[in-house]
Amino acid sequence: MHLLDNYFKTLLCTETTTADDVIDMMVRKLGFEDGKKAKRYFALYESNGVSIGKQIAVSDLILPVQERCSKIVFKIKLFMHSLFSTSDQAVVRMTYIQAVHAVVSEGIQVSKDKACELAAIQLAVRFGDHDPDIHLSGFITDRIFEYVPRAVLRENRADAIESEVYRFHQMLDISEYDDEIGNADDDFPLEAENRRKTEFMKCYVATLREYSCCFGAARFSVTKQYFWPKLPNKLIVAITYGGILILKPPRMNLMKEYKLKMIYRWGFKPKVNFYFQLKKQSGGGEDVFTFETEEGRIISDLLTEYAIALVAEIKDSAKKKKENSRRQKEKAAARRAKEEKEAEEREKEKEREKESQVAEELKVPVAVDIMVKKDIESASQSSRRSSVASSSTSPARRLSRLSVSSIASRGSHRSESLPPPPVPAPPPSPGLSPTPESKKTFIEKDSIRLIAEATENEQKETSNESKESKNDDEALAATKIAALFKGYALRRDLLSMEDDMAAVQLQAAFRGYMVRAEIVKALEGENTNMRRAIRKSLSSQVEAITSAAAQDVSEDSDGDGGPPLPPLPPRFSSDMDAEEASAFEAD
């Protein structure tokens, strides 16, 4: 199986091998990424060695076809838009080969400058960047026809064309097409070189598409047209993925273009003509564009294949968008779940920090008790030393020094082991449970106040005694110790009283709910008894009124024979049912 650049692949075929089987083998050998999609766009064609002939049907046996033609060519059949935007290197290479063949074989007419520019890109694909020591005059002179169309060579000398090609080759900058090519990893030179070739191939195809609208179009000659009187009868009908192009030979100038979405219908008469009709909203009407040609069936089938491929691409695109949307939603959901989890962890961490802080503030450190004991021992020792050393020092002065030093030392130890005390809060209102901060502040204030009062009383009692014995100092220290322990005992009692008060408040609240429930129950019972009494009284009244009315009626009928009284309304009947009785009671 031959390619358009004279490369070929050898395949093993049997008498039952069809063209479809050969396409499958070529797709696998060339290494297409999406073989199913590639099979949709490629086909086999007969060739006489000079030009490309008709397409081989997928159901035809391949061996008889090979016997009747010079060679079989594998090339692109449907130039869909996705072929020009793909990253599949096999597809890019096949598109590039077909573009070079269209230029060199003069399938697309190009100017001299455009031919030299395209030849420079082709030179870069084959030999890389420009090297002045290698790319000299005569380097491609013998094979210049592989780069430039013969029509350009007939009008210009080969060496002049070669110099112009080198000039364009020297100006090429692939960074215009791919910024990452110049930053390829030096550890993978082969991969970098393949990428450079791929980008140069894309550059060649893009340049040709910008220059001519005929690239990728299947062109068919028609002998006569029946719609445009100003146009010649012999025209070219070109079929592309976009629709139908009407070209004027020999320069293939574009005369008319009809998008595929504008066409209402198309068809053919075998070996007679091809025709199509536009939609009314696209400016068409009853007019039918008819062209005489023997290839009407091929034109119509190709246009149908383009329409089917376009629908398939739209479905694939919608499916891909749906899949991408689903993946984005899953990523967004996972990201939201992660953020929510992190937020929840932060909230839990804050709660744990708050709980630990509250627990740290509420607990009484053991270090405080140790410091109190040390203060008491130091006070006793200092009192002994002061009584022995200086009998003139008053106990009150010694007590004041002792109190100040002990309180200062306790404050310093407290500041080292505990955080600074909070700002004193106002006393809690009655009936509400005090907060831990207010409890702590109240207890500390009360303890300090009791210690200060005890110290003050002891100073007053000992102010008149200037000379006391050692037993008096010990008694004084014992009194201070008792006062300190009394303060701790009072604090413990206060905490116990607060707990008892909270329990009493809870019991009172539950007792209030129970009393209210009993009152509601009693009121419901009284309402029921009252309704029953009213119903019984009303029933007795109704019966009395009914019996009196019946007696009056009987007396009137026995007397003067006048007309009887009308019957009582049902609401006064004694045989009322439950609903009537309820209505009566409501009245």
Domain extents in the chain: 19-189, 217-363, 366-505
The pLDDT score that the predictor gives to residue 113 is: 92
Best-predicted range by mean pLDDT among 115-124, 229-238, 380-389?
115-124
153 in Cβ contact with 161 (< 8 Å): yes
**Cα distances (angstroms) measured from residue 126 to each of 88, 123, 194:** 19, 5, 11
Closest CA to 467 of 384, 386, 379, 392: 392
CA 35 – CA 91 distance, rounded (Å)? 11
CA distance 259 to 241: 9
H helices, E strands: number in the chain: 15, 11
Q: CATH number of the domain at 19-189, please?
A: 1.20.80.10
pLDDT (mean) for 49-68:
89
Secondary structure letter of residue 8 according to DSSP? B
Q: What mean pLDDT comes out for the span 265-290?
A: 83
Q: What is the pLDDT of residue 479?
A: 80
| Pairwise CA distance, residues 458 & 475, whole Å | 10
Is 48 within 8 Å of 58 (Cβ atoms)?
Answer: no
C-alpha dihedral, 363 to 364 to 365 to 366, nearest 10°? -130
HEC profile of 242-270? CEEEEEECCCCEEEEEEEHHHEEEEEEEC
Q: How far apart are CA 494 and CA 500, in angstroms?
A: 10
pLDDT at 412: 41
Q: Give residues with Cβ within 8 angstroms of 47, minimum separation 6.
A: 2, 53, 69, 70, 71, 72, 73
Helix (H/G/I), strand (E/B), else coil: 293: coil
Most confident segment among 22-36, 163-177, 405-419, 444-458: 22-36
Q: For residue 439, is pLDDT > 60?
A: no
Average pLDDT (499-506) is 81
Closest CA to 530 of 538, 540, 541: 538
More confident residue, 227 or 579: 227
Burial class (CB in 10 A: 0-12, 13-18, 19+), 342: exposed
Residue 63: the pLDDT is 93
**pLDDT at res. 385:** 63
Residue 322 has pLDDT above 80, yes or no: yes
Cα dist. 187→191, 193, 196, 501 in Å?
A: 9, 12, 15, 82
Q: What is the tens place of the pLDDT at every residue in 524-569?
A: 777 777 778 887 888 888 788 878 777 765 555 444 444 554 554 4
pLDDT on residue 514: 79
Percent of the chain with pLDDT over 90: 27
Comparing 112-116, 137-141, 148-152, 547-551, which segment has the lowest mean pLDDT?
Answer: 547-551
**Partners of 256 in the beta sheet?**
246
pLDDT band at 64 (very low <50, low <70, confident <90, very high): very high
In which residue are the tokens 């395209």 written? 118
**Got the DSSP string for 10-75?**
-----TT-BHHHHHHHHHHHHT-SSHHHHHHHEEEEEE-SSSEEEEPPTTSBHHHHHHHSSEEEEE
How far apart CA 193 and CA 407 sit, in angstroms, is 85
* CB 275, CB 267: distance < 8 Å: yes
265 beta partners: 277
Instruction: Pick the more confident residue, 147 or 387.
Output: 147
Residue 369 has pLDDT above 70, yes or no: no
**Position 490 confidence tier, pLDDT thresholds 50, 70, 90:** confident
- For the segment(s) 217-363, the CATH number from 3.90.79.10, 3.30.360.10, 2.30.29.30, 3.30.70.141 is 2.30.29.30
